[in-house]
Amino acid sequence: MAYATNTTIAALAERIRSAKRVLVTTHQKPDGDAMGSVLAVVRAARAVGVAAEGWLVGPCEGNLLSFAGDDPVVLVEPRNPTMPHGAFDLAVVVDTGAWAQLEILAPWLRAMAPNVVGLDHHARGDEVASERVVEVRRGSCTALLVDLVDALGVPLSHGGDARGRGSIAEALYLGLATDTGWFRFSNARAAEFALAARLVEAGVDKDAMYQLIEQSSSAARVKLQGCALSSLAFVRDGSIAVMRLTTADFEATGASIEEGSGIVNMPMEIALVRASVLAVEDAAAGVVKLSFRSKPAGPDGGFIDVNELAARFGGGGHVHAAGARLKGTLDEVVARVRAAVER
């Protein structure tokens, strides 16, 4: 069966309303839209008197997790997973419909069929949910979920404190703002701006949210970005950026390894760059961690498959984001990467 809508929002609202205990989940490593989507469904279900819990498979950035507030959200550690226990009579899967993104909870969800429903805005997915609404034109999954909240008859301001924290509107805005790149991407259309207006009207503190999500780095992280950028080099006529971070860089800046995440994306600001590689030295473990990123297909339809590139170093991932770990010194590994992409 194609990954397409096979029911209505009204029918899904009725499934939630008539359930006793609902589990809401999303893809592993939740981003802003995944987190916002789970929180919006949990808050709306609880507002109509249905017990609901959010189950997230980490890792999950602390700033995102802080949006959960007092809501019942379980963070599953992939290395030591807790599985759902007790009697749930409905599972709602949001912002994904792909088994590959649900790995740890997949066996539990398979056992729950046919009591799994889905709401998503991605083009591809599997038979995870027996009943689902899939609308790829929505700028975020939360831009679809607002229809579910409306169908349940819950006001968007529900659950919020005086500053709008903890409301359904806040959860919807979290997904809408992050998935549209704060309304810069092409998926921010008239409907997304109209929804933003509704959410701000419902009490969302958009400036506080922007600061919490986009302006909350440590000074150490920004200094570490400086170290990486000062090592910036190019291969293949400037189309591939290569950066490196040494153990000494981490010591000098005081940044943790986790604070290095995302730095690989910085060279993507450069027009000519199609892919970026960051090599991070872990002297204690005697390995170098490689992160690969590439841009989606350009006007000519061409793109660099970094999954294939990472596979040459025993790693893997996705077409536009992948990683690998290699033994050796930083110089050796960077030389090998440069040689591999040169070809």
Binding stretches for Mn ion (CB under 5 A)? 33, 95, 141, 179
Query: Cβ 140 to Mn ion, closest distance in Å?
Result: 5
The stretches of the chain forming alpha helices (DSSP H) are 9-17, 32-47, 62-65, 106-112, 141-152, 168-179, 190-201, 206-214, 219-230, 247-253, 306-311, 330-342
Nearest-approach distance from CB 290 to Mn ion, in angstroms: 27
Measured between its terminal Cα atoms, the distance across the chain in Å is: 41
Query: At closest approach, how far in Å is the CB of 151 from Mn ion?
Result: 20
Residue closer to Mn ion by CB (options 175, 315) is: 175
Query: Which residue's CB comes closest to Mn ion?
Result: 33
Closest to Mn ion by CB, 141 or 304: 141
Nearer to Mn ion by Cβ, of 141 and 241: the residue is: 141
How far apart are CB 333 and Mn ion at their closest, in Å?
Answer: 34
Minimum CB distance to Mn ion smaller for 33 or for 249: 33
- Cβ-based nearer residue to Mn ion, 35 or 73: 35
Parallel, antiparallel or unpaired: strands 321-327 and 316-317: antiparallel
For the CB of residue 36, give the shortest distance to Mn ion in the complex, in Å: 9
> 233-235 and 131-134 as β-strands: parallel, antiparallel, unpaired?
unpaired
Could you write out the DSSP letters of every residue in 261-302? TTGGGGGGGSTT--EEEEEEEETTTTEEEEEEEEPPP-TTS-
φ and ψ at residue 161, rounded to 5 degrees: -85, -170
CA 44 – CA 240 distance, rounded (Å): 46
Find out whether 245 and 236 touch, Cβ atoms under 8 Å.
Answer: no
Nearest CB to Mn ion, comparing residues 53 and 95: 95
Find out whether the peptide bond into 114 is cis, omega within 30 degrees of 0.
yes
The nearest distance, CB 38 to Mn ion, in angstroms, is 12
